[in-house]
Structure 1
Amino acid sequence: MINFIPIFPLGIVVYPGESLNLHVFEERYKQLITESFKEKKPFGIPSVVNNNVTEMGTLVKITEIVQVYEDGKMDIRTEGISVFRVLEVIKRVPDKLYSGAIVDYPPNETQLKVAMMQQVINGIRELHRVLKVSKEIKKPDEQLTSYDIAHHAGLTLEEEYELLGLLREDQRIEYLKRHLNKILPMINGIENLKEKIQLNGHFRELKGFNFDF
């Protein structure tokens, strides 16, 4: 399917199923949100990477306008629906302040891969343990997809966007596994180095080498 959607380019990556809270303050996007909510129509969030609007993005729907301030600024809740690909950006939409795009929706395989995912989930928990961070993952393990945990894996913006461009669940899981296999040894090494530095100068009980063996 090919259609026109209003777009709200942002320097983030949004995934299908993700809940995203936004504070809307620019006039063009206040207009976009007001119209989308009134007409119950979704809009697109293409990612902005390296100061460029990218080809891929996620269609989102407004689930709630939490607050409208006196100056028209808004706090809203949204939810990701599906991945789209930009075919053409319409920078000036007649009678509108915001821009739009002609998009299509490439086939996206999202079937659960429970056994494969468990390895990634274990890796992410190890990452969080080493970094001493706590992030709640709200779904049970057996219901999690790559989209649910991608933001928990310590990916850069560029890496999160690369993941968005992968349109099969097994490919996304493999991407996350490679990422974790790369960074976990590095982080563990840094933690060991920190421990050595902190021990330097302390009184330490160490057994001497025995020459009589």
Structure 2
Amino acid sequence: MSWKDMTNEIIPIFPLKLVAFPGEHLNLHIFEPRYKQLIADISEGDGRFGVSVYLDKLMPFGSEVHLEEVSKVYEDGRLDIKTKVIRVYELIRFENPFQDKLYAAGEIIPFENDISVAAHLHNEFIFYLKEFFRLIGEPQSIIPLAINSFTLTHKIGLSLEEEYELLVMRKESMRIQFLIKHFIKVIPVLREVERAKAKIRMNGHFKTLDALDF
């Protein structure tokens, strides 16, 4: 691969076993020499690099992030950095290492994302979202207009594979329906656990029982 052969954007690529959703803040600890070099290079440029999802292999979709801050530099050169996820991309070509660098880079195409969703579908999603966090005992401050399919997704118990499946959906309505199906599956289980806990709490308490006529 050479720079002149590529017609789309080229960014450094950082493969990780995680899914980074648009809008989230991603904090990373950098310790490998190749990624120290990557951060040094983007710090002198536009601050952008790609976090490509690695499952059992490098997946074709990932998230472009922007370096917001190098929070700490350790004596041995390790770094703590803060980034913000900008958008999803499709990885068209990948080279590791890239040219004379230690790190990989790739040619990407920005992901087209339809953010429109029907009001009734979004309202149903918010209902299930609130009920889920109530049942696990971690109520969240949920402002419906500020919530989308990515906002709290890391906290609702999806597997890495399910998070990736969500990431590559091109429509918000599809993502919302996917999450509603997840809630419909897990919320009844959580309600059963809640009922079991209530019964356990009653053990040892004085009980008033109806008299039996026999």
TM-score normalised by the shorter chain: which range applies? 0.7 to 0.9
| Pairing 1:103–2:118 present | no
Separation in 1 of the partners of 2:119 and 2:50? 30
Alpha-carbon distance in 2 for matches of 1:93, 1:147: 31
Partner residue in 2 for 1:28: 34
Pick aligned residue for 1:125 from 130, 135, 154: 130
**Residue equivalent to 2:24:** 18
Give 5+ residue unaligned stretches, structure 2.
1-6
Aligned residue-pair number: 208
**Whole-Å Cα distance in 2 between the matches of residues 20 and 136 of structure 1?**
20
Once residues 210 and 161 of structure 1 are traced to their aligned partners in structure 2, the CA distance between those partners, rounded to angstroms, is 61
Deviation at 1:113, TM superposition (A): 4.9
Aligned-partner SS, 2:152: helix
Give the AA of the match of 2:131: E
* Structure 1, 79-88 or 187-196: larger mean CA deviation: 187-196
Task: Indicate the residue corresponding to 1:46 in structure 2.
Answer: 52
Q: 1:87 aligns with which of 92, 99, 115?
A: 92
Give the deviation of 1:200 after TM superposition: 5.3
Identity of aligned residues (%): 36
Task: Tell me the alpha carbon deviations over residues 28-50 of structure 1, each in whole angstroms, 9 at most, x when there is no partner.
Answer: 1111111112212411001122x
Return 161-170 or 194-203, whichever deviates more.
Answer: 194-203
Contact kept, 8 Å, 1:14 with 1:45, in 2: the verdict is yes
Contact 2:71 2:79 in 1 (8 A): yes
Alpha-carbon contact 2:149-2:172 (below 8 Å) kept: yes
Contact 2:166–2:178 (8 Å) recurs in 1: yes
Q: Is the 8 A contact 2:70 2:81 kept in 1?
A: yes
Letter in structure 2 aligned against 1:159: E
User: What is residue 157 of structure 1 aligned with on the other side?
Assistant: 160
Match for 1:116: what amino acid?
A: L
CA contact (8 A) 2:87 2:111 kept: no
Task: Quote how far apart the aligned CAs of 1:116 are.
Answer: 2.5
Give the TM-score normalised by the residue count of structure 1.
0.87
Deviation track 1:138-170 (CA, whole Å, cap 9, x = no partner) reads xx3213211212223221111111100101010
Q: Does 1:173 align with 2:176?
A: yes
Letter in 1 for 2:113: N
1:2: Cα distance to partner? Answer: 2.3
Question: Are 1:146 and 2:149 counterparts?
Answer: yes
Residues 115, 19 of structure 1: CA spacing in aligned structure 2 closer, same or farther, 3 A cutoff? farther
CA distance in 2, matches of 1:10, 1:210: 68
The answer for the alignment partner of 2:62 in structure 1 is 57
Contact 1:6–1:100, Cα closer than 8 Å, also in 2: yes
Q: Distance in 1 between matches of 2:211 and 2:16?
A: 60
Report the aligned-residue RMSD: 2.2
User: What secondary structure is seen at the aligned counterpart in 2 of 1:39?
Assistant: coil
Q: Which residue of 2 aligns with 1:76?
A: 81
Aligned to 2:207: 204
